[in-house]
Structure 1
Amino acid sequence: MPTIWEYAGQVAAGDSGCWLASTRRAAILLAPTHPVIALPRRVPVHPVLVQTTALVVHGRTYGSSIHGHIVSGPELAAWVTEHALPDPGAAPGNIAAAVRRLLDNVAGMLRKAGHQIPEPGPRSLRRHSADPVVQQWHDLTDVDESFPGPLLCLGVAAMSDTFGPAIV
């Protein structure tokens, strides 16, 4: 099992700038509860947690109008609370609307951070990007028959378990 630091380095995909900084910040925030990352068995919860946290940290940091903003655990807890998905027993229309809102919000943050984020689509080797942030977006939002929805939803649920709901 890789350490959180080793896995965050893999997620950075060779980047040496803002994306690397985002993956490292995600590792700092996750290290107290996830010092090592269990690699996928059937459902890749830990890897998806790191990837999703890095995307959200990146969007909140570099899409922010506040220069030098540093994302905190309580900030992530508030963000997760605001973007929580309904329980699986909710009406399918409510779940679909919440997923769409989540995807639109994350895409919007990443666009503000300067990335050309496409609409999610079917998982395919043809959907590749040299931009590691866009590639991570593809990995977390494109779908196929192996998982019933975007992996980003699993990542947000794992973030909720990790950072907890914000205390209002």
Structure 2
Amino acid sequence: MKIAIFSSSNTIFTYCYIKLFESIGYEVKLFNNNDEYRCNINYCVNYKKKVNSNFKRNIKKIFKIFHLTRFLNYLVDKRKKNNSLSSEELNLLSEELIKFNPDKCFFFWSTLFKSEINLISKILPQVENIISVNTYPIRSDFETFTKNKFFESDKRIFFEIQ
């Protein structure tokens, strides 16, 4: 079974989900939506245009000088809510999705993926979409933290990821 994971590659939880899905036998492909942090693992697609971080930093400084940071936050929030993809991003995403042909798509921090979900619904209507808003696969059925039999493996996942 194949699963496409839509997330940011600079989030450690993304790699936890990748390891989780791989451990249960899924073939995984990561679709990285981070426009600054690029991943270079062989099953990752960086489909967002790279943004010049110096440009972003300078814009923030200018807004701060003129006490317009609240307005900048408003603009950023509005852009995220509209979250439209460029035609270049849409084409790359469509091409990679059709080539991979996933059975499921997993969206981590799903509010950022409206355009992606709409695209998948059009080009691959048979795909099951899984939308996640949690931050960690919670293990809560233990009496105490020290009785968590997954503690060592969880620790390795969080601290051995490169």
- TM tier, smaller: under 0.3
Greater C-alpha radius of gyration:
2
Higher helix residue share = 1
What is the TM-score normalised by the length of structure 2? Answer: 0.24
Instruction: State the structure with bigger RCO (CA 8 A, min sep 6), 1 or 2.
Output: 1
Higher strand residue share = 2
